[in-house]
Amino acid sequence: AALNLGVYGVDLGYLQLFHLSQESINYWIVIEKLISQLGIPNDIITAPGELLDENFNNPDSLMQIATATFAIVKDHLNEQNRESAATMIMIGGWVEALYIATETLYNEENPDPEIIAIIAEQKYSLNSLVSFAKNYHQNPEVARYFRKLRLLQNSFREFNIYYEKHNLRIDTVNKVIVTSENRIDITKENILQIKKLIKQIRDEIIN
């Protein structure tokens, strides 16, 4: 349930980009069911649910409500010492985001350099996710996906990202690298391997 909650949360954000109201509502219904399966008390999400009725046809408002709800759910899980469940939500969301990038946005016949860069730069977010998941790998389910993410790391290690020294800045607040120039030696084969592995992980999550 936690993994799929992460998946559906990212999908809801993706649908919001295209202002697909009805589809967003359908995803929200599933999200509510998953939250219930996680044993989150109904009163935790009552207020966001009431706002949903008032903003049925407003994708922007729906996304704000969803974001607030996810924050509430994660805080509740952490307060209940269920950090492993919160970790699984993060893993599910990260996997789905990379799946969308490789399966939907990446065009093998006419690859967009910006999409390629986005995919390649996920090696850093993957490193952070693996380090975070390691803290809870005593949980069997976290350990299972921790191993899968470690395997995926091997594919990301097949290429390097080079930054121009004078254009490089580390944003310590958001923990990201800010640069206007970089060079990535990723190949088509690298991307297809990442695409294959992330699809396998994603298929296992949703099936």
Dihedral sign from CA coordinates of 58, 61, 63, 69 = negative
Residues 6 or more apart in contact with residue 131 via CB below 8 angstroms: none
How far apart, in whole angstroms, are the C-alpha atoms of residue 167 and residue 42?
49
pLDDT in the model for residue 182: 64
Whether residue 39 has pLDDT greater than 60: yes
**C-beta neighbour count of 30 within 10 angstroms:** 15
117 pLDDT tier (thresholds 50, 70, 90): confident
Rounded (10°) angle between helices 122-134 and 140-156? 150
User: Among 25-29, 61-65, 82-86, 152-156, whose mean pLDDT is lowest?
Assistant: 61-65
How many angstroms separate the CA atoms of 124 and 10, rounded? 19
Cα separation, 54 vs 130, in Å, equals 39
- pLDDT value at 138 more than 80: yes
* Overall average pLDDT of the 11-32 stretch: 78
pLDDT of res. 89: 92
The rounded percent of the chain whose pLDDT value lies above 90 is: 44
Give this prediction's pTM: 0.81
Range 114-139 average pLDDT: 91
Q: What is the largest CA-CA distance in the chain?
A: 52
pLDDT (0 to 100) of residue 60? 57
Q: If residue 162 lies in a helix (H) or strand (E), which one and from where to where?
A: strand 161-163
Orientation of helix 188-206 relative to helix 113-120, angle to 10° = 60
Q: Which residues pair with 176 in a beta bridge?
A: 171
Average pLDDT across the chain, whole number: 82
3-state SS of 170-181 is: EECCCCEEEECC
Residue 55 has pLDDT above 80, yes or no: no
Q: For 169, phi and psi rounded to 5 degrees? A: -145, 140
